Amino acid sequence: MKLEGKVAVVTGASRGIGREIALGLAKEGAYVIVNYLGNAAKAEEVVSLIKEQGGDAEAIGCNVSDFEKAAEFFNDIIARHKRVDILVNNAGITRDNLLMKMTEEEYDSVLDTNLKGAFCCMRHVSRQMLKQRGGRIINISSVSGISGNPGQANYCASKAGIIGMTKSVARELASRGITVNAVAPGFISTDMTEVLADSVKEATMNQIPMRRFGKPEDVAAAVVFLASDSAAYITGQVLSVDGGLAM
């Protein structure tokens, strides 16, 4: 139980990669705050699964890209649990379109959720982690933020921004024992990727040296490692979980 006694917050944890991250952290003993925005039922399912496996968790809804609501969210958690040891910024959306057709709303909504949401959470949890003189922050980026992807200028900008912000915050917090790293998943089989055309999936598969798509559990394993004491001397890094796609 690498994370026994730790309090972890996972944003966007009601489904997909976030769900598996929450389950993975709980399996190692962490008490997990399952954050969600729109689907309370799915979030409660994750909590139930964690408890069935002998762990403990709770679901809390919050739009973490809203600065004031995010502050209330973390103030409540800290007031009740007295600490936050692990923050995983996973909440993210896509609004794909070619640059010449992309609307302002499509651009703004993706940047707000994916990038501003991560900023808000790090901003509001950092003071507590500084008091604790320790903590783990793991930001979920994407291979798209490293290599780009047609039709995803907004998404790629947000995920590249996550990488830059990760490195900056890592430098700011390192002296207090707080590590800040990013995980960059490649093509992971989730609800979000399931809707893609078969031609897109095939073209992507041909670019992956390992010749398979990743699973949410692959990403969760990387996050659990970075959240553990085994990664205590790793900070400011981007760990690609992509089967070699971005080499």
Q: Hey, which residues are catalytic here?
A: 155
Largest CA distance in the chain: 51
Are 191 and 19 contacting, i.e. CB atoms less than 8 angstroms apart? Answer: no
CA end-to-end distance (rounded Å), the chain? 33
**What are the angstrom distances between the C-alpha of 50 and each of 25, 43, 47, 74?**
10, 11, 5, 21
Angle at the Cα of 141 from the Cα atoms of 75 and 121, rounded to 5 degrees: 10
Query: Which residue has 């900008």 as its token pair?
Result: 157
CA–CA separation, 36 and 29 (whole Å): 21
Q: What is the C-alpha radius of gyration for the chain, rounded to an integer number of angstroms? A: 17
Query: Which residue has 């923050």 as its token pair?
Result: 87
CB-based contacts of 150: which residues, under 8 Å, 6+ apart?
A: 98
